[in-house]
């Protein structure tokens, strides 16, 4: 069967109806930072005390705009954690236990693990050499790390490498990959590029979600879903739900929604897809068939550069944001610095 990586008849949502890891990664994954063995921990681990600072009542200097998704109050988070400087460029997060959060950042081949309840220490487990690691997901038995070129590395829950790795995206036109998720209902992984995968003018606004085999990590013959940026904008306008806008030279307000996904996660209760667009500081939710369910646009004072998503089993949502220095902030972010944070939003009862 001929694989169609971007079929002309692909299911376009909203739409129009309700590695090999070893490639370029040589090095010793068992190497450790100096001093780890002196503290009585394994050679490939590093432990830091007082890693998290929790704010039980985070300050909300600006208002989050939200439409739809009535079981969340994105203007009223229940907890915020400030991350240590080593995770200033946090990129992917997932729960590895009842209250244990795993994180990767886009420069080091390490899994950083916290206990969100105690916040007492951070354990760093090396799994590979330096690289551009963007996504992290788990299925309860293993973790999957996504590198920006599409390579996937399988880890044990403690962050040690299993040695299983491949790049199922090697035949996809080169784009940057940042999003990986586990979809329990279909027992598969989902991988989403940051940009369109086609130069075709008719498809430049499309964003593809690919299905990946749970065990063999092979690419499915058809995309799991194709989302249209323009169709999302139209659906949001029809519902009067917020998306980023800008004022053009003629003084008219225009859409400024780039839709460059930085993470994707599947809701544990509903099975819906929650997709984060970091540059836009925007969260959207769509059904597995592509129907837009709601949007939220965060001000930079709350999430300077959101990069990661994770769900608790009860549906509570975690959003991770990179720290930003004044001189490197994106236009519109202001000039002050922002510390990397993780914010928790409660899944409210019906």
- The CATH number of residue 85's host domain is 2.120.10
Total number of domains in the chain: 1
Query: Is 339 inside a domain boundary?
Result: yes
pLDDT of residue 48: 64
Query: Is 6 inside a domain boundary?
Result: no
Query: Is 7 inside a domain boundary?
Result: no
Distant-in-sequence, close-in-space partners of 34: CB < 8 Å, separation ≥ 6? none
Convert the pLDDT of each residue in 266-323 to its tens digit. Answer: 999 999 999 999 999 999 999 999 999 999 999 999 999 999 999 999 999 999 999 9
Higher pLDDT, 338 or 200: 338
Query: Is 8 inside a domain boundary?
Result: no
Query: Is 11 inside a domain boundary?
Result: no
Q: How far apart are CA 282 and CA 275, in angstroms?
A: 8
Q: Determine phi and psi for 78, rounding to 5 degrees.
A: -100, -10
User: In Å, what is the CA distance from 62 to each residue of 58, 75, 303?
Assistant: 12, 9, 11
H or E element, residue 239: helix 229-239
Query: Is 350 inside a domain boundary?
Result: no
Query: Is 152 inside a domain boundary?
Result: yes
Convert the pLDDT of each residue in 226-281 to its tens digit. Answer: 999 999 999 999 999 999 999 998 889 999 999 999 999 999 999 999 999 999 99
* Domain with 270 in it: 19-345
Token couple for 136: 């992290």
Q: How far apart are CA 72 and CA 318, in angstroms?
A: 12
Token couple for 215: 């065990």
Per DSSP bridges, beta strands 317-321 and 341-345 are: antiparallel
Query: Is 3 inside a domain boundary?
Result: no
Contact 77, 344 (CB under 8 A): yes
pLDDT of residue 149: 93
């Amino acid at each position: 069967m001929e694989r169609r990586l971007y079929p002309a008849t692909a299911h376009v949502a909203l739409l129009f109806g309700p590695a090999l890891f070893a490639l370029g990664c040589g090095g010793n994954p068992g190497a450790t930072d100096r001093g780890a063995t002196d503290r009585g921990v394994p050679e490939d681990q590093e432990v830091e005390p007082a890693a998290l600072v929790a704010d039980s009542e985070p300050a909300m200097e600006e208002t989050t705009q939200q439409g739809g998704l009535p079981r969340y109050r994105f203007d009223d988070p229940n907890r915020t954690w400030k991350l240590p400087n080593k995770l200033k460029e946090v990129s992917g997060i997932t729960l590895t236990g009842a209250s244990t959060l795993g994180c990767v950042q886009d420069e080091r081949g390490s899994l950083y693990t916290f206990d969100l309840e105690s916040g007492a220490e951070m354990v760093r487990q090396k799994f590979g050499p330096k690289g551009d690691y963007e996504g992290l997901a788990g299925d309860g038995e293993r973790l999957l790390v996504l590198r920006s070129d599409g390579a996937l590395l399988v880890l044990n829950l403690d962050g040690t490498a299993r040695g299983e790795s491949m790049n199922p995206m090697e035949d996809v036109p080169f784009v940057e990959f940042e999003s990986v998720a586990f979809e329990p209902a279909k027992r598969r992984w989902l991988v989403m590029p940051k940009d369109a995968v086609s130069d075709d003018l008719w498809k430049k606004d499309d964003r593809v979600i690919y299905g990946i085999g749970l065990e063999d990590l092979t690419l499915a013959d058809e995309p799991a879903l194709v989302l249209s940026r323009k169709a999302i904008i139209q659906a949001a306008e029809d519902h009067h739900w917020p998306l980023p806008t800008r004022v053009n030279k003629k003084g008219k307000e225009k859409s400024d929604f780039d839709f460059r996904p930085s993470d994707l996660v599947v809701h544990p209760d509903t099975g819906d897809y929650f997709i984060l667009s970091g540059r836009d500081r925007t969260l959207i939710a769509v059904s597995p068939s592509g129907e837009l369910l709601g949007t939220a646009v965060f001000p930079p004072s709350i999430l300077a550069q959101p990069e990661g998503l994770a769900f608790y089993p009860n549906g509570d949502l975690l959003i991770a944001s990179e720290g930003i220095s004044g001189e490197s902030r994106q236009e519109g972010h202001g000039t002050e610095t922002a510390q990397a944070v993780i914010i928790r939003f409660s899944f409210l009862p019906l």
